[in-house]
């Protein structure tokens, strides 16, 4: 076994290489804008240079002189062309309710205000730069503390499902009398996903039917949403998204560019290809909202939590109450009899934020886990022991049992591998030459969520199979785990399974978000395979009770039959079965909603009778230069338990990627905003800091065996988001251990340490 492909332990499948690896490394895998369409015209976006106000005039005269220019779409010729579809929080598929080109109004910096279409990309860009736009500008509000922002409780939000603040007991009274108290304020910055693949869209009409090539985490959602926007029947729209070059949540909702591109293609009766710039990606899609937190913890002298309060504030746009409300998770991690929580939305003149890898847990568990470290220090207790004393198999708000919870086994394995025993609990004491050395740890968690999913499996007599499901390969390894699940069930080699995904005409699957894909889709695939096996065994006296192994149908009594024989016996050319997996707790009609492009996510903290989470433990060593305060991270160790691991290689990859991004979120990444103009000032990959190889030292990922017999039939918990959660807290705690300075607002940068 290798670093990338860990030895499978109990309840883990084989670490097979990705089935699409060769296509990707050879460049054969076609990403949306790579797809050849006949005679495309090229579109270029013009975006607003102000954050609030309206367009006074657009002078097209210079742009019209560009050779090859075909069309200019602005609010003047596009008014009413696009029907608004509901925003996500209101139960719809739209990432924003702002509809550009529907009026001269400007809601945020970088809003789409025109699309220029030309014969060549360069001509479109040239003409776009020649458009002269004049504005009536108003003073925008950028962020927390800006003049003109408004604040409201999340319970008052314009969302379809009203949020309930988790609470139990009497926090105020318990906190007041708690022998040991900790209070902390924490902050996390605006961050952008920056997937390497840009937010491209190509639209091709064939008579009344539209094909959209666009990287999407929800092809069914995009097809239905775009149909609604364009006043088409959903059957007229097909979305193809077979390979996606990074998404992380940014490609989950419908952005305005799609419908505009489709209308441009319709007007021209020609395919239109849009490739926006990296900078435009900062404002035409979504991002991780800036947050603030107040955490209060009260404990007994032996470390038992008696009071916990978490209040959060999140920046959103003016029209959309986008909120992540990570208090749903942060109030349920530890046993505690008295809990209070609240979430507030601060509306500013910004583009609407959206999901970004562990949207809720990344900021909220960061705040909780730094507060836990502060509590451990005040108690004079080891941070691991503080988690152990408060570990629970039952969440404290409603008393619901975890389907499984291996938090302490994760801490035990990670701390051992990390050699935590060497840590000096007194900060600022450990030195290696000019470098101050610090150790920190934190809990990782992610709700195990699912949504209904469907799949079709066809097995042929020659032992080849095909799986169809409108799921998504966002780099997560979805093609691989789906192929592996079918291969295992059908008793054939994984190379004999062809998987089709990323096409809205396939059996619907939910959004590739909330780490739900493997748990949701693999269960549907396994069910369809079981039906295939059932068909093959039909008519036998042992009917129904069969498995498939090594190309044979095997009865419970051990009787074996070659596949070709079984096909002959039932007189079939191929066996094709369709199955729907509807997870525990789903409301009636949930699968029908998936058919309409909606993903009714269930599980996590959403069930009435149980709670489901995957857990982990993160350990980080930092070295801070005593004089310059340069921060290095030589090593990180994470141990994670997530039920049945379909593929230790793809799981390792997901967790490692999450941990590295966690370091990045704690140390590097922040989208800087000009507070006066409410404009992003580092909207490019040169100024938006992300770690490079030299910033990342040793990354040790430990997969902790776990069996969960309740969570879903295959016992799978998602891992896509788990690895990023808690990392920034572990980092922050390590920096404190090294220096004695608590930086409570991310990212932790040299200047913040120098200032203390």
The catalytic residue positions are 721
Minimum CB separation of residue 654 from ligand MOS in Å reads 12
Q: Which is nearer to ligand MOS, 359 or 597 (CB)?
A: 359
Assess contact for 127 and 324: CB atoms under 8 A: no
Minimum CB separation of residue 357 from ligand MOS in Å reads 5
213 contact partners, CB below 8 Å, separation of at least 6: 32, 33, 35, 37, 200, 201, 202, 203, 204, 239, 240, 241
Assess contact for 514 and 583: CB atoms under 8 A: no
Minimum CB separation of residue 510 from ligand MOS in Å reads 11
Q: At what angle do helices 361-379 and 648-667 cross, to 10 degrees?
A: 70
Residue 600 in contact with ligand MOS, rule: CB under 6 A: no
Q: Could you tell me the sign of the dihedral formed by the alpha carbons of 514, 518, 519, 521, in that order?
A: positive
Among 92, 359, 477, 726, binds ligand MOS (CB under 6 A): 359
Q: Which is nearer to ligand MOS, 216 or 327 (CB)?
A: 216
For residues 165 to 204, the per-residue mask of contacts with ligand MOS, x marking binding by CB under 6 A and - elsewhere, is: ----------------------------------------
Q: Which is nearer to ligand MOS, 146 or 286 (CB)?
A: 286
Q: Which is nearer to ligand MOS, 353 or 638 (CB)?
A: 353
For residues 229 to 248, the per-residue mask of contacts with ligand MOS, x marking binding by CB under 6 A and - elsewhere, is: -------------------x
Residue 356 in contact with ligand MOS, rule: CB under 6 A: yes
Assess contact for 193 and 356: CB atoms under 8 A: yes
Choices 22-30, 195-203, 353-361, 681-689; region in contact with ligand MOS by CB under 6 A: 353-361
Assess contact for 299 and 178: CB atoms under 8 A: yes
CA angle 308, 447, 243 (to 5 degrees): 140
Measured CA to CA, the distance from residue 13 to residue 553 in angstroms comes to 21
Minimum CB separation of residue 502 from ligand MOS in Å reads 15
Choices 175-183, 355-363, 637-645, 673-681; region in contact with ligand MOS by CB under 6 A: 355-363
Residue 217 in contact with ligand MOS, rule: CB under 6 A: yes
Minimum CB separation of residue 250 from ligand MOS in Å reads 8
Q: 358 — alpha (psi -120 to 50), left (phi > 0) or beta?
A: left
Among 357, 496, 546, 644, binds ligand MOS (CB under 6 A): 357
Minimum CB separation of residue 728 from ligand MOS in Å reads 16
Q: Which is nearer to ligand MOS, 141 or 362 (CB)?
A: 362
Assess contact for 77 and 226: CB atoms under 8 A: no
Assess contact for 618 and 662: CB atoms under 8 A: yes
Choices 78-86, 88-96, 351-359, 437-445; region in contact with ligand MOS by CB under 6 A: 351-359
Residue 363 in contact with ligand MOS, rule: CB under 6 A: no
Q: Which is nearer to ligand MOS, 53 or 514 (CB)?
A: 514
- In the DSSP assignment, the letter for residue 508 is B
Minimum CB separation of residue 248 from ligand MOS in Å reads 6
Assess contact for 379 and 303: CB atoms under 8 A: yes
Q: Nearest to residue 159, comparing CAs of 316, 339, 361, 360?
A: 316
Q: Which is nearer to ligand MOS, 248 or 567 (CB)?
A: 248
Residues 246-265 that bind ligand MOS (CB under 6 A): 248-249, 252
Q: Which is nearer to ligand MOS, 361 or 708 (CB)?
A: 361
Element (H, E) at 299: strand 291-299
Q: Which is nearer to ligand MOS, 415 or 476 (CB)?
A: 476
| 564-584 b/e (C-beta count within 10 Å ≥ 16 → b) | eebbeeeebeebbbebbbbbb
Minimum CB separation of residue 230 from ligand MOS in Å reads 25
3-state secondary structure labels for all residues of 446-487: EECEECCEEEEEEEECCCCEEEECECCCCCCCHHHHHHHHHH
Q: Which is nearer to ligand MOS, 326 or 514 (CB)?
A: 514
Helix (H, G, I), strand (E, B) or coil at 570: helix
Measured CA to CA, the distance from residue 94 to residue 644 in angstroms comes to 33
Assess contact for 529 and 457: CB atoms under 8 A: yes
Residue 225 in contact with ligand MOS, rule: CB under 6 A: no
- The site for ligand MOS, by CB under 6 A, has a size of 10
Minimum CB separation of residue 417 from ligand MOS in Å reads 28
> Could you tell me whether strands 465-468 and 679-680 are parallel, antiparallel, or unpaired per DSSP bridges?
unpaired
3-state helix, strand, coil in the chain (%, to 5): 30, 25, 45
Residue 514 in contact with ligand MOS, rule: CB under 6 A: yes
Q: Which is nearer to ligand MOS, 288 or 387 (CB)?
A: 288
Measured CA to CA, the distance from residue 327 to residue 361 in angstroms comes to 8
Measured CA to CA, the distance from residue 146 to residue 125 in angstroms comes to 34
Minimum CB separation of residue 343 from ligand MOS in Å reads 18
Minimum CB separation of residue 193 from ligand MOS in Å reads 8
Among 513, 597, 603, 616, binds ligand MOS (CB under 6 A): 513
- Cα–Cα distances (Å) from 55 to 48, 102, 134, 281, in that order, read 9, 12, 6, 21
Assess contact for 286 and 95: CB atoms under 8 A: yes
Among 107, 243, 355, 446, binds ligand MOS (CB under 6 A): 355
The residue at minimum Cβ distance from ligand MOS is: 249
Q: Which residues bind ligand MOS (CB under 6 A)?
A: 217, 248-249, 252, 355-357, 359, 513-514
């Amino acid at each position: 076994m290798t670093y990338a492909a860990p030895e499978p332990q109990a309840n883990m499948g084989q670490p097979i290489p990705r089935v699409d690896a060769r296509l990707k490394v050879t460049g054969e895998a076609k990403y949306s804008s790579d797809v050849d369409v006949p005679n495309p015209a090229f579109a270029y976006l013009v975006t607003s240079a102000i954050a609030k106000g309206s367009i006074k005039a657009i002078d097209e005269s210079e742009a019209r002189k560009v050779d090859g220019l075909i069309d200019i779409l602005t609010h003047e010729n596009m008014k009413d062309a696009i029907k608004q579809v509901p925003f996500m929080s209101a139960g719809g598929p739209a990432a924003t309710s702002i509809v550009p080109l529907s009026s001269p109004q400007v809601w945020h910096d970088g809003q789409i205000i025109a699309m220029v279409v030309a014969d060549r990309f360069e001509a479109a860009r040239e003409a776009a730069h020649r458009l002269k736009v004049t504005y009536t500008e108003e003073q925008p509000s950028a962020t927390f503390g800006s003049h003109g922002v408004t604040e409201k409780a999340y319970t008052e939000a314009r969302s379809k499902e009203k949020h309930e603040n988790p609470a139990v007991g009497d926090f105020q009274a318990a906190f007041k009398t708690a022998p040991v108290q900790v209070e902390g304020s924490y902050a996390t910055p605006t961050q952008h996903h920056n997937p390497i693949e840009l937010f491209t869209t190509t639209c091709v009409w064939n008579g009344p039917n539209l094909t959209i090539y666009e990287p999407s985490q929800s092809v069914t959602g995009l097809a239905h949403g775009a149909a609604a926007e364009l006043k088409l029947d959903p059957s007229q729209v097909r979305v193809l998204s077979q390979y996606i070059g990074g998404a992380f949540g940014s490609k989950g909702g419908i952005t305005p560019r799609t419908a505009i591109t489709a209308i441009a293609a319709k007007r021209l009766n020609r395919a239109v290809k849009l490739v926006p710039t990296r900078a435009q990606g900062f404002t035409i899609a979504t991002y991780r909202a800036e947050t603030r937190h107040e955490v209060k913890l009260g404990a007994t002298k032996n470390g038992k939590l008696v009071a916990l309060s978490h209040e959060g504030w999140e920046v959103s746009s003016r029209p959309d109450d986008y909120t992540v409300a990570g208090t749903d998770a942060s109030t349920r991690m530890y046993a505690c009899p008295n809990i209070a929580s609240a979430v507030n939305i601060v509306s500013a003149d910004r583009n609407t934020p959206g999901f970004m890898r562990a949207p809720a847990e990344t900021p909220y568990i960061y705040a909780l886990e730094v507060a836990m470290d502060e509590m451990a220090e005040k108690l004079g207790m080891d941070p691991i022991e503080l988690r152990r004393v408060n570990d629970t198999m039952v969440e404290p708000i409603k008393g619901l049992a975890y389907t499984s919870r291996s938090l302490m086994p994760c801490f035990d394995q990670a701390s051992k591998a990390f050699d935590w025993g060497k840590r000096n609990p007194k900060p600022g004491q450990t030195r290696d030459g000019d470098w101050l050395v610090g150790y920190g740890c934190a809990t990782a968690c992610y709700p195990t969520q699912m949504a209904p999913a469907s799949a079709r499996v066809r097995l042929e007599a020659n032992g080849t199979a095909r799986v169809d499901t409108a799921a998504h390969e966002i780099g997560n390894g979805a093609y691989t785990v789906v192929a592996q699940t079918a291969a295992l069930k059908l008793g054939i080699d994984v190379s004999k399974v062809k998987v089709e995904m990323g096409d809205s005409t396939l059996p619907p699957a939910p959004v590739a978000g909330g780490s739900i894909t493997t748990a949701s889709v693999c269960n549907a695939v396994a069910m369809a395979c079981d039906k295939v096996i059932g068909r093959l065994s039909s008519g036998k006296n042992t009917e129904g009770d069969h498995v498939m192994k090594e190309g044979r149908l095997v009865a419970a009594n051990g009787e074996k039959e070659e596949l070709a024989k079984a096909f002959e016996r039932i007189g079939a050319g191929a066996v094709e079965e369709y199955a729907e997996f509807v997870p525990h707790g789903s409301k009636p009609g949930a699968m029908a909603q998936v058919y309409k492009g909606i993903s009714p996510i269930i599980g996590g903290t959403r069930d009435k009778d149980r709670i489901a989470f995957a857990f982990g433990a993160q350990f980080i060593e930092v070295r801070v230069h005593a004089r310059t305060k340069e921060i290095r991270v030589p090593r990180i160790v994470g141990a994670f338990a997530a039920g049945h691991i379909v593929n230790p290689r793809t799981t390792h990859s997901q967790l490692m990627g999450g941990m590295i991004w966690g370091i990045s979120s704690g140390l590097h990444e922040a989208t800087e905003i000009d507070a006066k103009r409410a404009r992003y000032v580092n909207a490019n990959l040169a100024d938006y800091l992300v770690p490079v190889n030299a910033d990342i030292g040793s990354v040790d990922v430990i997969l902790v065996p776990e069996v969960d017999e309740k969570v879903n039939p295959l016992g799978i918990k998602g891992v896509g988001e788990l690895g990023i959660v808690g990392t920034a807290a572990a980092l922050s705690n390590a920096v404190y251990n090294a220096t004695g300075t608590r930086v409570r607002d991310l990212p932790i940068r040299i200047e913040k340490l120098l200032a203390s």
